[in-house]
Structure formats: C-alpha cells, structure tokens
Structure 1
Amino acid sequence: MDVETKMTVHDAMTTNVVTVDPSISVAEAAYIMTKEKVGSLIVKSNAEPEGLITESDIIQKVVSKDLKASKVTIGEVMTKDLITIEPEKELNEAARLMARNNIRRLLVVKDGSLVGILTSTDVMAVSPELTEILVESARFEENTTTYTEEERPLPGICEICGTFAEYLEEYDGKYVCEECKEELEGE
C-alpha cells in the first residue's frame, strides 16, 4: 500500500483555527476573515463547534439578499449541520467525505472538542494523488446528470490494492476498485 494512503487527517490539518462567538455580526466576521487571511471561521461559544461561516455563506445569505452585515449575527447565517472527522482517520477517507458531501472543509474533533480544520487545499498540499477525488467531485457537481448518493461515481484509492481508480464501490465497509470487488465477491 502507498505511503500516502496511510497519511492521517492529523498530518494535514491546520491546528491554528480562528473561532468566533455566534453573537458577533457578519461585518465583524468579514473583518476577522480579511485580517486573518482565512476563508472561514469556526463558530463556538464553548469547546464544541456549533457552526461554520464561510465567505460563500456571507455572499449567499447576506450580500445577495442586500441585508446589512452589521445587523445580522453569525448565528443567524452560519452552517449548523457540521460534518466532522477525527484526527486519526486516514486522509483518503477525509477526501471521500468531502467529495460525497460536496464540501471543502471538515472540522477535526476529538472527544467533542475542536482540534483543527482540514480543507481541500490542505489535502491537495500533502497528498496530490487525493486531489483527483476532490477534482472529480467538482466535475460531477458541474455535470447536469443527477445521481443519487448511491449511484454517484466516487474516484479514489482502493483500500485493498492501493491503486487509484476512477470509480470506487463500497464493499463490506471498504472502498474498492472493480477488480478487487470481483475478487472479494469470488471468495
């Protein structure tokens, strides 16, 4: 198996995460993002993250609706249904989770507490071969063909043979290429 497939989320994540309280205004959040040179802020009022606010959220939920950013709180427009991952999980699993959910950021949580953030840029920087998973996901999103979650082709690294495949299928809890699936079914 490739060394890259054994990289963990911890190996690639950013631990210096910028957090804000849900009561601050969108204008304040935009100022903090600009000052800190980040595209998102984690929203929390205790150890556990409550939400995430991104530049896209601000554009889609505030600017496009011509709302006054100083009058809208982060808590009103933040994304609340957070998708998290644990730091010891493999990086290829994180890339698949991002692709499956069409997101570019995963909050890294250990025992309920925020320990970092993993972005698609982090994944691409440390493991270029996983970039294909993220690129293919974007390509499928742009394509007008509609897939159900189960039908949607998922590229990645086979968990049995370690080679990259355009289409992985889940078999017995693992993502495997077509050849390995056929071998497993033949057992």
Structure 2
Amino acid sequence: MTSIRSRLLVKDVMTRSIISISPKASITEAARIMSEKDIGGVLVIDENKPVGMLTERDIVRRVVAQGLNPSNTRVEEAMSAPLFFIDANAEISDAARLMATENIRRLPVMDKGKLVGILTTYDILTIAPELFDTLSILKAQPKSRESKSRRNDFMIGWCDSCSEWCDDLREVDGQYLCGECYFEHVGSET
C-alpha cells in the first residue's frame, strides 16, 4: 500500500532556493560556491535555461582524476548533461523512481516551463524514507525496455530542435524532441 507521504507532490517537498552557475565558470569557482553553501551540486544555467548539473562526483571523476587544473577547466567540460526534469505537480514517488532508474540524486523542478526548484534524494529521504526501500529494489533490477518507456513519461524540458518547452520529449538519435519535431524527423527518414 502506498503511504500518504509517498503521494505528496514534488512542489511540497522540493528546495525552492536554486544555487546555479554559468557553464563558462571555472571548476574552482563552482567548488567554492558548493563549499560555501554546503551543497553537493550546482545547477548549470545558460541564457536562463538549465543545461546541466555539476556535482562533487563530476569534479572528482572528470577533473581531479583526469589531472586537469580546476582553475583552467570550465564547468561545461565536467557537468552532467542532458538534464532530467520533473514537473512540480508530479508525485514524489514518481521522482524517486526516476532518480533510481537514472541513477541521479538531483532533479530540477519545472512548472509550466519555468524552473521553480530542485528536488534531491535528501529532500525525499527526510519526508518519505520508505521510498528508498523500493528504490533499492529498482536499482538492483537491470534496465528493461519497459523502464525506458516509463522514463519517457517523465521527460520534460526544451526541445533540442526548436527550443520550445515540452512536457513529452522523445529521444531520437541522442536529441530530445517535442512531438512536432519528432514527427518531422521520423517523417524525413521514411
């Protein structure tokens, strides 16, 4: 049986203050912000659009372990992209499932095309720790065709082709497309 807490909406649990950085900033600057704010990741925003996430793990794996100089390495070189988004009105159980299947700890939260917050695994853990029992089972299962189709239910963001906001993106050849661009692309292949 699903608990009432797991049916809470993302907007009820998310963190509203968003710490962000430019993709052109240095890793040193990003690390300083993360240290000052005592956070494990920053949202990367370019021209008022979220384009990636930079986490402590990204810095360790893509900068430090590669022997790169953090002062000379830009955020865009180490950030994780593309982003997965979650709608503010989605249930936190849906967000937790997306986090588990995609192995991510932070989700930008959108409401009608506008960034309104960020949801972290910590946010969910503090309100509905029972979800993490389910998540550990999901993570242990191999990804299947079914889980990929479920993932598409959550794909919202900007279309890579026309740059319009869409709450039903479809992945085609590594690009995320809105319905109109998807059908134009599929139609051009036949």
TM bucket normalised to smaller: 0.7 to 0.9
- Which residue does the alignment assign to 2:30? 29
In structure 1, runs of 5+ residues without a counterpart are 142-146, 153-187
State the alpha-carbon separation in 1 of the partners of residues 85 and 43 from structure 2: 12
State the alpha-carbon separation in 2 of the partners of residues 113 and 47 from structure 1: 10
User: In 2, are the aligned partners of 1:107 and 1:117 still within 8 Å (CA)?
Assistant: yes
State the alpha-carbon separation in 2 of the partners of residues 39 and 149 from structure 1: 30
State the alpha-carbon separation in 1 of the partners of residues 81 and 111 from structure 2: 18
- Which residue does the alignment assign to 2:113? 112
User: In 1, are the aligned partners of 2:101 and 2:143 still within 8 Å (CA)?
Assistant: no
User: In 2, are the aligned partners of 1:49 and 1:113 still within 8 Å (CA)?
Assistant: no
Q: What's the CA shift string for 1:48-96, capped at 9, x where partnerless?
A: 2011100000000000001000000001211121000011100111111
Q: Which amino acid aligns with 1:118?
A: L
In the alignment, does 2:93 pair up with 1:92? yes
In structure 2, runs of 5+ residues without a counterpart are 148-190
Q: Which amino acid aligns with 2:66?
A: K
- Which residue does the alignment assign to 1:55? 56
State the alpha-carbon separation in 1 of the partners of residues 143 and 129 from structure 2: 28
- RMSD of the alignment, in Å? 1.8
Aligned length: 146
In the alignment, does 2:125 pair up with 1:124? yes
User: In 2, are the aligned partners of 1:22 and 1:74 still within 8 Å (CA)?
Assistant: yes
- Which residue does the alignment assign to 1:46? 47
Q: What's the CA shift string for 1:88-137, capped at 9, x where partnerless?
A: 10011111111111111111112222211111111110112212133334
- Which residue does the alignment assign to 1:69? 70
- TM norm structure 2: 0.71
State the alpha-carbon separation in 1 of the partners of residues 143 and 128 from structure 2: 28
User: In 2, are the aligned partners of 1:19 and 1:41 still within 8 Å (CA)?
Assistant: yes
State the alpha-carbon separation in 1 of the partners of residues 114 and 76 from structure 2: 19
- TM norm structure 1: 0.72
Identity of aligned residues (%): 36
1:2–1:133: structure 2 CA closer, same or farther, 3 Å change rule? closer
Query: Which SS does the other structure have where 2:130 is aligned?
Result: helix
Q: What's the CA shift string for 1:146-173, capped at 9, x where partnerless?
A: x232478xxxxxxxxxxxxxxxxxxxxx
User: In 2, are the aligned partners of 1:47 and 1:114 still within 8 Å (CA)?
Assistant: no
Question: Which of the numbers 143, 147, 160 marks the counterpart of 1:148?
Answer: 143
